[in-house]
Amino acid sequence: MLFVSWSFAVFLPVVLCLYYWSGRQGWQVSLLTLASFVFYGWANPRLVPLLALSALVNAVASQELISGGRSDFRRRTVLALALLYNLGALLFFKYAALVGEFLLPATLWTGWGPWLKGIPLPVGISFFTFQGISLVVDAWHAGTRGVAGLPPPVGGREVGWHYWKVTFFKAFFPQLIAGPIVKANEFFFQIGPKRLREADGYGAIRLLILGFFLKMVVADNLREVTEGIRYPEFQSLSRINLIALLYAFSFQILADFGGYSIIAMGLAKLFGYELPRNFNHPYLSRSITEFWRRWHITLSSWLREYLYIPLGGNRHGSLATYRNLFVVMFLGGLWHGAAWSYAVWGSAHGLLLAGERFFLKQHQQTAPSGWTPTGVARAFLTFSLVSVLWLLFKLPEFRHVVEYVKSVAHNGGPPNVQALYVITVFSTPVLLWELWGASERMRASWPEPVRAWTARGAYAVMLFLIVTNSGSPGEFIYFQF
């Protein structure tokens, strides 16, 4: 079910009314869990057993890991089996064809290839798999202390409640399909009875207006233009249009994924839950390192906590640090998709991160800060590098990316003015959003009435444009990951 569909427009108020009809914790958790399974299986009910099995495996494993009386050997075995299940399911459904093509001899690939390529990709599996890993790893480290909000269960009733809470954590529909990636220690302590009078309705509405505006007005309208980034059609476009399309897709992917994350935060707030912020004006970044502190923050945090630090982080010298940065970003690239173009994308970011760290260390410099002319130039360079690398998302075949770059270098001719106009109109809101983030300190000095009325005016304009100028609806870009 899409957030921008009419079915969701009916689903949400019905669930919301039933949810607050009773303030009992058990009823609310049960209702939201069942509603989340309906949401997940709406278009394809065959996916529901996979999510249910994932919840069950991680519930059993986490219960074993936080309960007393378990030997170290048993706990290590449970952790290993849980990680094997989570990673194995992700590997099978998402990477079986890629691994098979790479490892199988040509004769076997001829027979097995069509079957492996036909394995369906369950929507959201990359996100709820990472949630399961965070749960069992957090439970392993917590031991009998339990995860905050998820104490060791004692007795059959508490074990059943433990399973139900884990299922709720895994299935919670606002973040189920495309994040933010919520870690166990960020969610369970929030579970409790919720009352309508305590909900931050105003904050939720503001988030929903901003999120739907970014998705429906900005991303969906830009998508109609960036369809031009398609081989071989782009080879006939002028250099100016090709460059403009690069930046347009960069704005589109931020508006699309950022919009989804903001909608998810708003929906969760309606039900009394807080999801972590996933974007912090990433195109203001003055380095690739800063970009990854601002872009897809929950993925960056997850990779740092559950991969980079276990690999050794920066604790074993410069070479090991550079290696770890590269490995983490390589795997982070593959997390986005089962194609070598995503691995190249992640590897490029890993090399840039390592190169920045090496350069700053060699010249004994700190990361750039402040909006001096140098800072502005660095921000534009970072944004341009990021935008060029987004081509690997739009054109999964690497040779098509090479052809696009060649076309930028060689294609002259007059630009398509209409396309440039559309790009300018629908990219401007993203620029204004980023500038709004850059002006935060300045706005803090404004009188309170000015700040309040400026915000209200902005939300009123966005709501008007949602009604009058939405593009043709389409799936969120990160649904494919």
DSSP states of 114-157: HHHHTS---TTHHHHHHHHHHHHHHHHHHGGG-BTTBPPP-SHH
Q: Is 281 a catalytic residue?
A: no
Q: 143 CB contacts (<8 Å, ≥6 apart)?
A: 65, 66
Q: Name the one residue in this structure whose structure tokens are 């931020």.
A: 254
Pair of tokens at residue 11: 């689903």
**Which amino acid appears at position 367 of this protein?**
A
**CB environment 158-197: b (16+ within 10 A), e (fewer):** ebebbbbbbbbbbbbbbbbbbbbbbbbbbbbebbeebeee
User: What is the distance between the alpha carbons of residues 121 and 127, in angstroms, rounded to a whole number?
Assistant: 13
User: What is the distance between the alpha carbons of residues 52 and 47, in angstroms, rounded to a whole number?
Assistant: 9
Q: What's the sign of the alpha-carbon dihedral 207, 209, 214, 220?
A: positive
Q: Is residue 258 within 8 Å of 278, Cβ to Cβ?
A: yes
Torsion angles phi and psi, residue 105, rounded to 5: -60, 160
Closest CA to 249 of 228, 276, 278: 228
Q: 215 CB contacts (<8 Å, ≥6 apart)?
A: 3, 4, 255, 256, 259, 260, 263, 476
Q: What's the sign of the alpha-carbon dihedral 421, 422, 426, 431?
A: negative
Catalytic residue from among 141, 162, 316, 336 = 336
CA 231 to chain centre: 27
Q: Is residue 345 within 8 Å of 392, Cβ to Cβ?
A: yes
User: What is the distance between the alpha carbons of residues 204 and 271, in angstroms, rounded to a whole number?
Assistant: 9
Residues labelled as active-site residues: 336
